[in-house]
Chains A and B, each alone.
Chain A
Amino acid sequence: MSADRRDFLVRLMQGATLASTGGLGWAYLLRQEARAQPFALRPPGALPGDDFNAACIKCGQCVVACPFDTLKLEPAGGNLPIGMPFFEPRQIPCYLCPTIPCMKACPTGALSPKLKDINDSRMGLAVIDTENCLSWKGLRCEICHRECPIKGKAITLETHPRQISKHAMFIPVVHSNACTGCGICVRACPTTEPAIRILPHALIQGKIGDHYRLGWTREDSITQEFDASGAAPTISAPTNAPSGPVKGKATDYLNEGL
C-alpha cells in the first residue's frame, strides 16, 4: 500500500470517527429534546407527536396570530421541545376561535389545514381529580360544566341523590368524543390547584381492545361462534351436528347430551 493511499485511508477514518461521535452526541441531544413532547399542549390541528416534531419550523407565526396570547414558543432549555408552540390553560386557555387563525398562519402544515371545525380539534383531554373536585365532595360547584364551550357534550352533569337533608351530588363527567382540550375549564376551576386538568390523550386514555364485547350494547345474541382471527363475528344458524368445532348457541352446547 502506498504511503499516499495509507495516509488517505487514515484521514478518512479520522474524519468518519469525528463525524460519527459528534453525530452521536448531537443525535442524543435531539432525542432528549424530542422526548419532552408528550407533555406539550399544542395549538389546534397539531399533527400527532413525532409528525409535529418533524414538521414545525418554529417560526412562531401561530403565536403572532393568536388573538388571546394563548400560545407561546418554548425557549431553549425549557421542559418542552425547543421552539415549540404550546399553551398553559391555567394561564390562558384556547378560546376556540371559529376561524382558527393559528392554524391558518402555519406555513408548513404542522397545524393541519384538515381541521375545518374548531370543535373537532383535540388538543388534549380534560381529566378530573375526583379527590379534590368540589362537586365530587358534595358542594354545588359545576363551574367547569357551565364554562365549557361545548357543555352538555364535552362535560355533562350526573346527579347522584343522597340521603334526606343533603342535596344531590352534581358530578361533572368529561366525554372524550367532544372535549377539545381547550382548557377553559382549567382556567375556571376555583380550587387552589385546578382539580380539572388537560392532558395529552396518550398519557391518560386506555384502550379496551377488540376482544371485549359489551353484550348489553348489542342486538344479536351474546355468544356466537368465536373467531380467533379477529374477524367480525357472524351469526350462523345453530347446527345439530356436534362434529368439529362446536358451533351454535351456548344453551344448545351446554344442554348437549342431556
Chain B
Amino acid sequence: MSHPAPSGLAARLWQWRYILLRRVSQFIILLLFFGTVHWGWEVAKDVPLLSGNLSGSKFIGLIPMADPFAALQIFLAGHVLQTEAILGAAIVLGFYILVGGRVFCAWACPVNPVTDLAGWLRTRFDIRPTFILPRNTRYFVLVLTLILSVLTGVAAFEWVSPVGMMHREIIFGLGFGAAVLLAIFLFDLFILKHGWCGHLCPLGAFWSVVGKVNPTLRVRFDKTTCTHCGECAKVCPEPQVLNLKLLEEKGFVFSGECSNCGRCTPVCPENSLVFDFKPLIRAHNAQAQGSVSVSETQRRV
C-alpha cells in the first residue's frame, strides 16, 4: 500500500521514464524538421530527410505525411486536395488509429511541453481555477472549425492554430506565435488547469474521436489489485478517463481522450495501471481475476 519513494537518480529516471521518452520524441520530431531546413539534412543529394512541418511533410523524399484534420478543413474550404496530400493524411490517420489518436498530443505536439509545464507549476503552487469549463467544449470547437471552414473558405483552425504557429515558427522563423504560446501558458497556469489541451483544442478533440478505435496500445486496469488510492487521477491531465467504475467493467482505459502519456503507470503503487497490447488485456484480466477467486476459495477452505 505504501508508496515506494524513489531513491537515487536511476530510480527517479525510471519513475519519469514516459515523460522523458515523450520529451525526447517531441524534441526529435522538431529536430528532424529543423535540421532539414537549417542544416540541410539529406539522405542523398537533393533528398531532404524530413521536409515541411506537422501540417504536411515528406520523409526521405518518399513518404508523404499530412495532418488529416488540416486536410479535412481544406477539403471543406472547397479545395480538392492532390493525391499526395490525401495519401499523406491517410498514412498519418492510419498510424494514429493504430497507436491511439491522442498519442499525437502527448508524444508529438510541440504545445504539449508548454501546457505540461503550466500544469506542473499549477499543481506545485496549488493555484485554484478561475472558472470551470466542460471538458466537451473542445468537441463544439471542433464542429465550429468545420462549419467555419465551409463558411469562410479557409481552413479555420489552421489559420489560428497555436500548434501550427509554434511548430512553423520554430522551424521557419519567429513571429507573433510566441506571444500566443505565452497566452496559452498563462491561461493554463492561472485561469484553467489543462485549459487548452484538455478543454479547447479542436485538434485534440479530433484525435480523441480517432482514438476511440485504438486497437493496439492501451493502459490496462487491474481491478483486483487497485485500492482506489487516487494517485493516478492526481497526475492525469484528463482525469475523467480514469473513471474507476467504468474501468472495472472494461478492464482498460478506453476513452479516446486518453493520450497514452503514461503518467499514471509509474505512480500507481499497486501496478494496477500498465501499458499493454490491447488484444491481450482481456485474457490477462480474466487470469488475474481467476487467481483471485481461487485464492479466496482457498482461504475459505
Contact = CB atoms under 8 A, between A and B. Distances in A.
A55 B57 contact: no
A73 B164 CA distance: 12
B154 interface: yes
Nearest to B147: A23
Contacts of A108: 56, 66, 74, 79, 81-82, 84-85
Interface string A56-94: 011111011100000011111110011100000000000
Given A57-B67, A58-B164, A64 B55 contact: no
A76 B176 contact: yes
Given A76-B169, A76-B175, A54 B154 contact: yes
Interface string B286-299: 00000000000000
B172 A54 contact: no
Interface string B22-48: 000000000000001100000000001
Interface stretch (A25-33, A122-130, A223-231): A25-33
B233 interface: no
A72 B151 CA distance: 28
B153 A53 contact: yes
B159 A61 contact: no
A107 B168 contact: no
B140 to A, nearest CB: 6
A34 B154 contact: yes
Interface residues of B, number: 51
Interface residues of A, number: 42
A57 B158 contact: yes
Nearest to A109: B82
A78 B71 CA distance: 24
Given A54-B153, A55-B74, A57-B67, A75 B158 contact: no
A64 to B, nearest CB: 4
A81 B153 CA distance: 14
B113 interface: no
A59 B79 contact: no
A22 interface: yes
A233 interface: no
A57 B54 CA distance: 10
A59 B53 contact: yes
Interface in A6-43: 15, 18-19, 22-23, 26-27, 29-31, 33-34
A8 to B, nearest CB: 16
Nearest to A108: B85
Given A27-B151, A64-B36, A82-B165, A59 B74 contact: no
Interface string A203-235: 000000000000000000000000000000000
Interface of A: 15, 18-19, 22-23, 26-27, 29-31, 33-34, 50-51, 53-55, 57-61, 63-65, 72-78, 81-83, 105-110, 113
13 contacts: A15-B140, A22-B144, A54-B153, A55-B74, A59-B52, A59-B57, A60-B37, A60-B52, A72-B172, A81-B159, A107-B56, A108-B84, A109-B80
Interface of B: 36-37, 48, 51-53, 55-58, 64, 66-67, 70-71, 74, 77-82, 84-85, 88, 140, 144, 147-148, 151-156, 158-160, 164-165, 168-169, 171-177, 179-180
